[in-house]
Structure 1
Amino acid sequence: MTDSTSSKSDQIISLLRFDAELYAELINSCNFEGRQIINFETDDDLINEWQSKNLNIVAIISKSDILGKYGVNLIESLHKKNLPAVPVILIGKHMDKNLRKIALSAGITDFFTRPVNFEHIEKRVNFLINNWADLKTNLKTKPITTYKTPFGKRAFDIFFSGLALLGLSPVFLVVYLWIKLESKGPAFYYSFRVGTGYRVFKFYKFRSMYVNADQRLKDLKHLNQYNIDAAANDKQTTVAADADSLCNDCLSYGKCQFPLYADKVRWCEKQYIDSRKTMVGSAFIKIKDDPRITKIGNVIRNLSIDELPQLWNVFIGNMSIVGNRPLPLYEAEKLTTDKYALRFAAPAGITGLWQVEKRGKGDMSEEERLMLDNTYAQNHSLATDLKLIFKTIPALLQKENV
């Protein structure tokens, strides 16, 4: 446990995911009054070391955006392990008033945007540590999740997902073998998604693309169906955006910011460049006849079999059978305005209103999709969910090669 009277030389400021350049800048620029500095690669490393060695950690500085894996999600991880409350400071790129509310509600103490003013960080961190005993008594946090699954809905989710996982186990085996035989790479992967109340969790799917799909994405952005109309009106802007290198955007952080994980394989999911450029583009991306998709990928996507591993997400409580689709971090960061934040007040689900209402019609705009998400958030009920479940089967059978 952290003791305010302990020697400063015994106190530790934990850094999380600092690349070599940022680490060197902070060490050379900041005077933390003799406290130790330890850099951790992941939150698991931090938590394991903290618990096993009883480290006297007095502050955490994480290089992450608010909705990133090591942003508000870090607070939840620390709470689950019953670790002492310490100041948590984020260094990231994206900030607006609604993101700020999310961060403060979750327990993030402060946020600095890059490029970093290290003088400000030094003053702020030292102040927080030296006065934390008084500050934390007035610190009020509330859970990020604004929606709690009713008992009946949760019981249905457990029963349905458990029964489906058992009954579909032969399908899982066949698809697993087919994916492994067709292309190199793991059959399953997970990425981080934002669900109810902007909660971040691991989202599981069957792999339907080649592992190097991200390397081809920058050459395919002009095919994004959600951006076709915008491209027709502003071709010059689209060409400029496509010319930028996807990987170079992540270089500012020192590593990929939007990875997919499977076993020891990791590849990039990032589909846009920095947020300032993407703010004028679509929040979603779909490419017709996408050449990045494998043969088995086309089959399992058209039949929505690639979604089956999400039954595990439902079983463990991250999702529900019916709800609004959880979004990748970079999409969720664009939907924190008052107009769209309502969608995150509903349960995250495998199927939902927009899937059954618009899938296969080919005329769904991004705005329509978002408004349907808001509509579901305002009007969902058990009766509505059951209707949507019965409508899902014919929606899945519609042919739409996107």
Structure 2
Amino acid sequence: MSEQTHEQRLRELLLERYGRIDQSTFRHRLRFYLKRAGWVGVVTGAYLVKRVFDIVSAAILAVLLIPVFLAVAIAIRLEDPGPVFFKQTRVGRWGSLFTMWKFRSMYTDAEKRKKELMAHNEMQGGVIFKMKNDPRVTKVGRIIRKTSIDELPQLWNVIKGDMSLVGPRPPVPQEVDQYSLSDRRRLEVIPGITCIWQISGRSDIPFDQQVELDAQYIQSQSFWSDIKILLKTVPALLFGTGAY
């Protein structure tokens, strides 16, 4: 047998032994691909349902609340001349950056004064800065913060797709820099206007517990759980528990 014939025969043997897929292997692979396709379909479908609900609900709320927007804007300008809205860079899903909008609830020099007040941070854990009697907050600001009216401009962020109605609150980049590996679980989903810890005590809840509640939401989130959180948000805003 020539060397060329020998190489050809060897190639045929290798292809015969390793190149074919028996029925058992084919069934296993087919089952795997079908399961993966089913899982992708469920996740994609859930995302689309949530997204459509967000867009429709946010658009309707934005139209209905136009009188509130106008009244708040006038009140802010009358007390402290300056911009009506406050914009800030926040961290979204997978670390993407976006501009989040709020009604301005502080004096225009608030960011400059923050460094002087860092020693008075009342948020346990130290990652988020919170003060119950923050001197930078205006009189109008205290009212709209207590009722979370200052968050209403984020309906625009929801319509754009930066945020959802329900999801972990979006952090600022400086907070993310201080996150531990487990804290970064909060960045696995689209951030929201309201979340599970906002209906459970809001700022009275220590940061590490906020992370745990957000992690629970991420693991068990569903369309119906979002509806429940939205319904519980209304009484939480009316009573203003933990808001400052």
Deviations 1:280-324 (A, max 9, x none): x61111001111001110111011110000000001111100001
Which residue number in structure 2 is paired with residue 293 of structure 1? 137
Which residue number in structure 1 is paired with residue 114 of structure 2? 217
| C-alpha displacement of 1:389 | 0.6
Deviations 1:205-247 (A, max 9, x none): 00000011123223322321125xxxxxxxxxxxxxxxxxxxx
Q: Percent identity?
A: 41
Which residue number in structure 2 is paired with residue 344 of structure 1? 187
Contact 2:162 2:190 (C-alpha < 8 Å) held by counterparts: no
Aligned positions of 1:126-137 closer than 5 A: none
Aligned letter for 1:358? G
Which residue number in structure 2 is paired with residue 111 of structure 1? none
Residue 190 of structure 2 aligns to a residue whose secondary structure is: coil
1:379, 1:312 → 2: CA distance? 26
2:123, 2:65 → 1: CA distance? 34
Aligned positions of 1:282-361 closer than 5 A: 282-335=126-179, 337-359=180-202
Q: Does 2:65 align with 1:168?
A: yes
| C-alpha displacement of 1:359 | 2.6
Contact 2:164 2:191 (C-alpha < 8 Å) held by counterparts: yes
Residue 204 of structure 1 aligns to a residue whose secondary structure is: strand
Aligned positions of 1:151-166 closer than 5 A: 151-166=48-63
1:200, 1:334 → 2: CA distance? 16
Aligned letter for 1:323? G
TM-score normalised according to structure 2 size: 0.77
Which structure: greater helix fraction? 2
Deviations 1:120-149 (A, max 9, x none): xxxxxxxxxxxxxxxxxxxxxxxxxxx977
1:190, 1:333 → 2: CA distance? 20
Residue 107 of structure 2 aligns to a residue whose secondary structure is: coil
Which structure: greater strand fraction? 1
Residue 99 of structure 2 aligns to a residue whose secondary structure is: strand
1:341, 1:379 → 2: CA distance? 17
Aligned positions of 1:214-253 closer than 5 A: 214-227=111-124
Counterpart among 192, 195, 210 of residue 369 in structure 1: 210
| C-alpha displacement of 1:401 | 5.1
Residue 219 of structure 1 aligns to a residue whose secondary structure is: helix
Q: Does 2:31 align with 1:190?
A: no
1:317, 1:196 → 2: CA distance? 11
Residue 165 of structure 2 aligns to a residue whose secondary structure is: strand
Structure 1 unaligned runs (5+)? 1-146, 228-280
Aligned letter for 1:153? K
Aligned positions of 1:70-219 closer than 5 A: 150-219=47-116
Deviations 1:301-352 (A, max 9, x none): 01111000000000111110000111101111222x4312211112210001
1:347, 1:380 → 2: CA distance? 12
Deviations 1:267-286 (A, max 9, x none): xxxxxxxxxxxxxx611110
Contact 2:106 2:136 (C-alpha < 8 Å) held by counterparts: yes
Runs of 4+ residues over 6 Å off in structure 1: none
2:239, 2:74 → 1: CA distance? 26
RMSD over aligned Cα atoms = 1.7
Deviations 1:62-121 (A, max 9, x none): xxxxxxxxxxxxxxxxxxxxxxxxxxxxxxxxxxxxxxxxxxxxxxxxxxxxxxxxxxxx
Contact 1:223 1:288 (C-alpha < 8 Å) held by counterparts: no
Aligned letter for 1:356? I
1:226, 1:324 → 2: CA distance? 17
Q: How many residues align?
A: 200
Task: Return the structure number with greater relative CO, CA threshold 8 A, min gap 6.
Answer: 2
Contact 1:322 1:350 (C-alpha < 8 Å) held by counterparts: yes
Structure 2 unaligned runs (5+)? 1-42
Aligned letter for 2:229? L
Aligned letter for 1:392? T
Contact 2:76 2:84 (C-alpha < 8 Å) held by counterparts: yes
